Structure 1
Amino acid sequence: MSWLDDFMVRAALAGLGVAIAAAPLGCLVVWRRMAYFGDATAHAAILGVALSLALSMNLFVGVLAVALAMGLMVGSLSERRFALDTVLGVLAHAALAVGLVAVSLLSGVRVDLSAYLFGDILAVGRFDLAVIWGGVLIVLGLMWWRWQALLTATLSPELAMAADLDPRRETQILTLALAVVVAVAIKVVGALLIGAMLLIPAAAARSLSNTPEQMALLAAGLGGVSAVGGIQLSAMFDTPSGPTIVCVAATLFAVTSLGGLLKTLVR
């Protein structure tokens, strides 16, 4: 497919893939008030990068393994009645710091940390694109399969148990989906900005939506616009692509929030 030879086309497809996968997860994270959970999982990605380089394994596999382990660890500690915000704050920063130190200690390996911290979407190749969209399909499949159960568990664990659902299992499914998104998104926006792509489009869609499904679809659309618009602007103004994508998403959030406020005042 010759059209994939254009690096801008590959970048746009990668950004759209991450936006589509992150949208339903971001909505669930917003509803559960688990913003720090996404950050903790994303920051652990740098430790996954160090593991992948040290063991000469595929980056996706290493990041996925560490992100999943981080998510399960957070879930386990929160069930033992540790203060969740404290646990997430400690683990998020500790994982990032340990990962950076581990990468610096690798001998004979030259690493461009900025590419992992802030993403390098313009360097996405055909294989990267296949991995990203493979991860997107996994996440969308999980969300399609468990959407209603995840919504119920998010609304009320007691209601979920009454409906013969296990809230802990649904949280583990959400953790798995988040780990996959982190693993595929690190190439696009980097470990420090993955949380932003989870949260900002979902938050922007919240004031414009009447149903959970509408919010997820609108978040995907806003995330896609942010990705494609950010790539175009970064090419025009020679700015870092990952941060530019997040800036566009933040602008959309400001616009939708202002629109929601004006609509409320008019009423």
Structure 2
Amino acid sequence: MLDDFMVRAVLAGLGLVMAAAPLGCFVVWRRMAYMGDATAHASILGVAIALGFSLPIFSSVLFVALVMAILVSTLSDRNFSTDSLLGVMAHSGLAFGLVAVSFIEGVRIDLMAYLFGEILAVTPRDLLFVWGGAAIVVALVTWRWSKFLTSTLSPDLAYASDIDPRREQLLLTVALALVVAVAIKVVGVLLVTAMLIMPAAAARPFARTPEMMAVVATIIGAVSVVGGLWGALLYNTPAGPSIVCMAAIIFTFTSLFRIPLRAR
């Protein structure tokens, strides 16, 4: 079954969606889109470190993404402007990563594969990492769901409920770093933020509860993966960007659907 490259691609995309869709709801609610973008950009430095020292790319990218997430969470509490801090670290990580890659000799590097993903080249070993990472993220979000939600809705209410919002923010950023490490093979670092945000944003008109929004976002993400891969196979277009294009089309239709709902 796993000998079919398209089956592996679908399974990899669905594994990414299982992790990214519920987490993406918190990214939308907390307005953490730039945080996801910064973490994704910094992961290029992890790719350079992995290639330079012959380390596994997944673990190296995860390490850099975790360091990035922890640094941002720590420095944002010390009177640094969060937007400025994210902008500096995102572009610095991407720039240092690209410069570091240029110094590596004797290694052929396809930067486009890391920037935009290479889902059609996913191997059974890659599937193990994708679904393993997704399982950890889903377990973490399920375990901390009520605490994540309370600290997102009202930090004051969280403190009153004996919940530390900063700890929950840190756990969310750790989960975000894990999703970035999982997604680098599937849609690449430049498109991972889109897979976090678009399904969650498209699910809003159909959601009456936070839990429903997470479920609908997962369904929309799955449809985006299958539809994008089908379109890529049919029209010979890049697979990763095609998945994001499908998610963008769904978001456009759900946004138009939201207007009649508001009129009522």
Q: State whether TM-score is above 0.5.
A: yes
Deviation at 1:87, TM superposition (A): 1.1
- What is the rounded CA distance, in whole Å, between the counterparts of 1:142 and 1:225 in structure 2? 24
- AA matched with 1:46: I
* Corresponding residue for residue 179 of structure 1: 177
- What is the rounded CA distance, in whole Å, between the counterparts of 1:202 and 1:89 in structure 2? 23
Q: TM-score, normalised by structure 2?
A: 0.98
* Corresponding residue for residue 134 of structure 1: 132
The answer to whether structure 1 residue 245 and structure 2 residue 251 are counterparts is no
- What is the rounded CA distance, in whole Å, between the counterparts of 2:29 and 2:168 in structure 1? 14
**Alignment map for 1:86-235 (pairs within 5 Å):** 86-235=84-233
- What is the rounded CA distance, in whole Å, between the counterparts of 2:50 and 2:225 in structure 1? 27
State the superposition RMSD in angstroms.
Answer: 0.8
Deviation at 1:200, TM superposition (A): 0.6
The answer to whether structure 1 residue 51 and structure 2 residue 17 are counterparts is no
- What is the rounded CA distance, in whole Å, between the counterparts of 1:22 and 1:256 in structure 2? 19
| Structure 1 consecutive aligned stretches of length 4 or more whose deviation exceeds 4 Å | none
- What is the rounded CA distance, in whole Å, between the counterparts of 1:30 and 1:255 in structure 2? 18
- What is the rounded CA distance, in whole Å, between the counterparts of 1:186 and 1:52 in structure 2? 13
- What is the rounded CA distance, in whole Å, between the counterparts of 2:170 and 2:220 in structure 1? 27
- What is the rounded CA distance, in whole Å, between the counterparts of 1:81 and 1:30 in structure 2? 24
CA offsets 1:161-216 (integer angstroms, 9 cap, x no match): 11111111111111111111100100000000000000011010112211100001
Deviation at 1:83, TM superposition (A): 1.3
- AA matched with 1:68: L
- AA matched with 1:67: A
- What is the rounded CA distance, in whole Å, between the counterparts of 2:138 and 2:203 in structure 1? 19
Q: TM-score, normalised by structure 1?
A: 0.97
- AA matched with 2:28: V
* Corresponding residue for residue 75 of structure 2: 77
- AA matched with 2:189: A
Deviation at 1:103, TM superposition (A): 1.0
**Alignment map for 1:60-75 (pairs within 5 Å):** 60-75=58-73
CA offsets 1:204-263 (integer angstroms, 9 cap, x no match): 011221110000111111011111111111111111111111000000000000001122
Q: Unpaired segments of 5 or more residues in structure 1?
A: none
- What is the rounded CA distance, in whole Å, between the counterparts of 1:55 and 1:162 in structure 2? 47
* Corresponding residue for residue 261 of structure 2: 263
- What is the rounded CA distance, in whole Å, between the counterparts of 1:94 and 1:226 in structure 2? 31
* Corresponding residue for residue 28 of structure 2: 30
- AA matched with 2:202: A
Q: Unpaired segments of 5 or more residues in structure 2?
A: none
